[in-house]
Amino acid sequence: MPEPLPEPLGLFGGTFDPVHFGHLRLAEEASGQLELAGVRWLPAGQPAHRGEPQVAPAERLDMVRLATAGNARFVVDAAEVEAAAPSYTVPTLERLRRELGAQQPLVLLLGADAFAGLTSWHRWRAVFDLTHIAVSHRPGFPVTAAALPSALAAELAARSADVAALRAAPAGRIVTFAMTQLAISATDIRQRLMAGRSVRYLLPDDVLDYIQTHSLYRNS
């Protein structure tokens, strides 16, 4: 009898500019529904091109640490923020594979919008050799073949699996899961803050306190 594989580990990357309850519920619900050993949060180092003002990677990292601090199953990986170079998903997955070993099932958690953009990633097909993917539903972003680039729709059709498959191999399958639908986005939060409007109850109070103390996402 071959040795059973270790429990699957969730990987959750994002800009988290700022982290909000949509992110937290995604990680929490993935953790429960996909029976993950834990979720490793991977804040991206190099911010995508966004409107001013820019928030430093170290501040986004601080906010993710504050938001996840109370959950023993969440671990924050600061490597991408600490690296000087821009972050790309495939090299990050290769690093984690080296660190965690060939047998560890990995599950990359993606919202439906992020999954739909997967073919634009550098060396995107290598992702399936490195990790499983779990796609969460997100308001406004259907996970259907018609809504995806054809090459990705073909991968989805070929790799679709159930939760049990995530424990049976280290990588290569795609599952979708329904989470509590929260139409919260960091873009909307930034816009509200810049307009001086309330974002309370869209993100954790500790994160809001940090934003206010550090005068982030202000026009002036």
The pairing of beta strand 9-14 with beta strand 106-111: parallel
Residue 103 CB, nearest approach to ligand ATP (Å): 26
**Residue 162 corresponds to which amino acid?**
D
Binding site for ligand ATP (CB under 6 A): 14-17, 22-23, 26, 110-111, 113-114, 136, 138, 182, 184-187
Q: Are 207 and 18 in contact (CB under 8 A)?
A: yes
The pairing of beta strand 174-177 with beta strand 74-76: unpaired
Residue 88 CB, nearest approach to ligand ATP (Å): 15
Per DSSP, the three-state class of 133 is: strand
Distance between CA atoms of 29 and 2, rounded to whole angstroms? 30
Pick between residue 5 and residue 185 the one whose CB is nearest to ligand ATP: 185
Pick between residue 5 and residue 59 the one whose CB is nearest to ligand ATP: 59
Pick between residue 67 and residue 166 the one whose CB is nearest to ligand ATP: 67
Residue 57 CB, nearest approach to ligand ATP (Å): 12
Residue 144 CB, nearest approach to ligand ATP (Å): 16
Pick between residue 26 and residue 166 the one whose CB is nearest to ligand ATP: 26
Q: What length is written for the chain?
A: 220
Q: What are the DSSP calls for 103-115, one per residue? A: TS-EEEEEEHHHH
Per DSSP, the three-state class of 175 is: strand
Pick between residue 84 and residue 178 the one whose CB is nearest to ligand ATP: 178
Residue 101 CB, nearest approach to ligand ATP (Å): 25
